[in-house]
Structure 1
Amino acid sequence: MRNLNDFIVFAHVVDHKGFAPAARVLNVPKSTLSKRVAELEKTLGVRLINRTSRRFTVTEIGEDFYRHAAAMLIEAEAAEAVVKGRLAEPSGTVRITASVPTAQITLAELLPQLALAYPKMRVVLHATDRFVDLVQEGFDIAVRDHFAPLPDSGLVQRRVAMDVIWLVAAPDYLARRGMPADPDDLKAHDGLLTSLANDGWTLRREDGTAVSVKPEQRFVADESRVLLEATLSGLGITALPRKLCRAEIGDGSLVRVLPDWQAGTVTTTLLMPHRRGQLPSVRAVVDFIADRLGE
Structure 2
Amino acid sequence: MNLNDLILFAQAVDSGGFAPAARRFAVPKSTLSKRVAALEESLGVRLIERNSRSFHLTETGRDFYEHARAALIEVESAQQVVQQRLAEPSGTVRITAAVPVVQFLLAPHLPALARQWPRLLIQMHASDRFVDLVQEGFDIAVRSHFAPLADSGLVQRKLMDEAVWLVAAPSLLKANGTPRKPADLLNHPGLLTSPEAPSWTLRRDDGATETVTLPPRLVADESVALLQAASAGLGITCLPQSICGHHVASGDLVRVLPRWCAGNVTTTALVPHRRSLLPSVRAVLDFLSAHVSAPTQLTPLRSRPP
- TM-score of the two chains, using structure 1 as the length reference: 0.70
Distance in 2, matches of 1:268 and 1:85, equals 32
Report the Cα offset of residue 290 of structure 1. Answer: 0.7
After superposition, what is the alpha-carbon deviation per residue over 1:62-103, rounded to whole angstroms, capped at 9, x for unaligned? Answer: xxxxxxxxxxxxxxxxxx9xx859953111111111111111
Higher mean displacement: 143-152 or 264-273 = 143-152
2:121 counterpart SS class: strand
After superposition, what is the alpha-carbon deviation per residue over 1:156-205, rounded to whole angstroms, capped at 9, x for unaligned? Answer: 11111011111010011111111111001112221101101111211111
Alignment of 1:1-295 (within 5 A): 84=83, 87-295=86-294
Distance in 2, matches of 1:163 and 1:107, equals 15
Distance in 2, matches of 1:191 and 1:172, equals 15
Larger Rg: 2
Report the Cα offset of residue 134 of structure 1. Answer: 0.6
Distance in 2, matches of 1:184 and 1:86, equals 60
Distance in 1, matches of 2:210 and 2:218, equals 22
Distance in 2, matches of 1:110 and 1:263, equals 27
Distance in 1, matches of 2:84 and 2:165, equals 44
Cα-Cα RMSD: 1.6
2:244 counterpart SS class: helix
Aligned in 2, Cα 1:85/1:209: closer, same or farther, shift over 3 Å?
Answer: farther
Length, aligned pairs only: 214
Report the Cα offset of residue 154 of structure 1. Answer: 1.4
Asked if the contact 2:106/2:292 (under 8 Å) is kept, the reply is no
- TM-score of the two chains, using structure 2 as the length reference: 0.67
Distance in 2, matches of 1:267 and 1:86, equals 33
Distance in 2, matches of 1:236 and 1:136, equals 42
Distance in 1, matches of 2:116 and 2:87, equals 14
- Match of 2:196, as an amino acid? A
After superposition, what is the alpha-carbon deviation per residue over 1:218-276, rounded to whole angstroms, capped at 9, x for unaligned? Answer: 11111111000000111010011111111111111111111111111111100000000
Aligned in 2, Cα 1:85/1:205: closer, same or farther, shift over 3 Å?
Answer: farther
Distance in 2, matches of 1:209 and 1:86, equals 53
Runs (5+) with no aligned partner, structure 2: 1-78, 295-306
- Match of 2:94, as an amino acid? R
- Match of 2:232, as an amino acid? S
Runs (5+) with no aligned partner, structure 1: 1-79
After superposition, what is the alpha-carbon deviation per residue over 1:2-46, rounded to whole angstroms, capped at 9, x for unaligned? Answer: xxxxxxxxxxxxxxxxxxxxxxxxxxxxxxxxxxxxxxxxxxxxx
Percent identity (aligned):
58
